[in-house]
A = this chain, B = another copy of it.
Amino acid sequence: MPNPNNPALHSWIDIAPTSDFPIQNLPFGVFETPERGPRLGVAIGDYVLDLYAVSQFGFFEDLDIPTQPKVFRRRSLNSFIRLGRPVWRAVRLRVSELLRHDNGELRDNEEAMRTCLVRQSEVQMLRPVKPQNYTDFYSSIEHATNVGIMFRDPANALLPNWRHIPIGYHGRASSIVVSGTDIRRPNGQRKAPDAAAPSFGPSQQLDFELEVAFVVGKSTELGHSIPLQHAEEHIFGLVLFNDWSARDIQSWEYVPLGPFLGKSFGSSVSPWVVTLDALEPFRTAGPVQEPEPLLYLRQLDAHNFDINLEVGIQPADAPETTVCRSNFRYMYWSMAQQLTHQASNGCNLQVGDLYASGTISGHTPDSFGSMLELAWKGTKPLPLTDGSERKFIQDGDTVTIRGFAEKDGIRIGFGEVRGTVLPANPL
């Protein structure tokens, strides 16, 4: 069977070497145009391959896809994902074949090619999955340590449970939006430590969080757990994730039951889901875990992934400044450990669940994944290239997270997740 990750593959479509979407990637998403209703697509160079059209033209007729072409004409990937890994793999392989430089089936069929390929600049990307449940982990040791130093005790920055448990909490699924959706600054209740009483108004400490999230591809029944070595079979793919946070609301509300309204006003996801299959060449070992985790969380193989991440802040009418460069490989707890932990009590997974990593910070100050850390709780304002500085995110700022893996001259990119902050609603 041909290997769709083979670095030697190239397409008859002209793809810039800097593109996030070479033939080795083929991420899945959902799009619409003024003429076409919501449907599934695959990114290739500057184009989207319309999977519904591809299916209608009969190019998938040798594949065993029970509900085609209908399954490709949906508002989310959920139904497609539910068909199972053999189907995702077969579709990705067939798309790879159709787009390969030496395959003329689509290239030489002018009507089909015109219908099946749409410029990305002409489509509206939609939220790729309907999230059934959303968990946000807290799996970067650098981030957890930074937060512990700032808010608790520098000498005991990590809490006693942190090295034993992939700490996480359930977040709000309803307010997850696709890249490009504006984010309204939340109003909320907050109380400065020296204030006599709390007050209600626009958050003064709006932040981003640089995260990566994975999409569940295989459900489990309530009462069942997942051995770690099978955890990745339940992962469809990955997206970039901005877990917008209102630090003032969060710090007043979060004791003792955790973050709530400081997070639930909006979380942004990138539109293209990069499959775990496409990321296979970038698998790498994670940090050494000390003490060794309990048996159910112990991993023998490499379960981290080498994905470069960066964050840019662009004020209204000014150029963007890159404020952070980090890497997904820094994660202390892997996705496999997170998922195994989530299901260890019998909690059932559902296709379309999103599991976010938590803020991904590196060792150096320029790799911190939130304004809270970059400006160190407001004590070290961050200079931007336009001469302004930031303690937190201001109205009109656009925050963009980008990510890509790169090896052997092949770049497997995620595109971006972008959001512009609008002023709070009047009280």
Contact = CB atoms under 8 A, between A and B. Distances in A.
23 contacts: A132-B173, A132-B174, A159-B256, A161-B252, A164-B191, A165-B189, A167-B253, A169-B169, A170-B260, A170-B264, A172-B347, A175-B348, A186-B346, A198-B294, A200-B294, A246-B345, A249-B345, A254-B257, A256-B258, A258-B258, A261-B342, A261-B347, A262-B345
A44 to B, nearest CB: 32
A226 to B, nearest CB: 12
A404 interface: no
Question: What size tier do the contact residues of chain A reach?
Answer: 35 or more
A291 B197 CA distance: 10
A347 B177 CA distance: 12
A341 B174 contact: no
A189 B167 CA distance: 12
Given A167-B260, A175-B348, 17 more contacts: A161-B198, A165-B198, A165-B252, A167-B256, A169-B169, A169-B257, A169-B260, A184-B222, A188-B344, A189-B344, A197-B291, A200-B294, A200-B296, A222-B266, A223-B265, A265-B345, A266-B346
Nearest to A186: B345
Given A170-B172, A296-B200, A187 B425 contact: no
Interface in A226-269: 246, 249, 252-262, 264-266
Nearest to A295: B200
A25 to B, nearest CB: 30
Interface string A288-311: 000100111000000000000000
A342 B257 CA distance: 14
Nearest to A296: B200
Given A200-B296, A344-B187, A170 B171 contact: yes
A133 B174 contact: yes
Interface in A207-221: none
A254 B261 contact: no
A349 interface: yes
A350 interface: yes
A222 B225 CA distance: 34
A278 B291 CA distance: 57
A168 B257 contact: yes
A332 interface: no
A206 to B, nearest CB: 11
Contacts of A353: 174
A248 to B, nearest CB: 12
A33 interface: no
A199 interface: yes
Contacts of A427: 296
Contacts of A262: 345
A414 interface: no
A355 interface: no
